[in-house]
Amino acid sequence: MSDDSTRAAMLEEVALYALGLLPRDQAALVIAFIANDDEAYAEYRDLSSTADALALTADEPVDSARTARMKERLMARVRADAPRRGPLAARSIAPACWRPRWSSR
């Protein structure tokens, strides 16, 4: 890998680091890169302020535990409803006026 492509890859890592998406071991490498490169530091500063501003626009933070509980409740309802409705209930049946005249249904 050339120095230019290595540098470009590291600058992409700076973006991921600014968004908080890097694992700890990769983050340590990026921190060292940022500390020794003025352009990388400027990129990080710009991107992290943008990421912070974006985070402030969210209605509320994502709570993975709450999301998991909501998904489990929804799936429990689906599983409970499935035996009553049968396997064909999920199919959309077109109204008679939408069916071709040669259709037997």
pLDDT tens, position by position, 10-52 = 988 998 888 888 888 999 999 999 999 999 999 999 888 887 7
Could you give the domains of the chain?
1-80 (1.10.10)
Residue 62: predicted pLDDT = 62
Q: Of 44, 41, 46, give the one whose Cα is nearest residue 22.
A: 44
Confidence of residue 88 (pLDDT cuts 50, 70, 90): very low
The answer for residues whose C-beta is within 8 angstroms of residue 13's C-beta and 6 or more apart is 22, 26, 29, 30, 33
* Average pLDDT estimate for 76-90: 61
pLDDT tens, position by position, 49-80 = 887 777 677 666 666 677 778 778 877 777 77
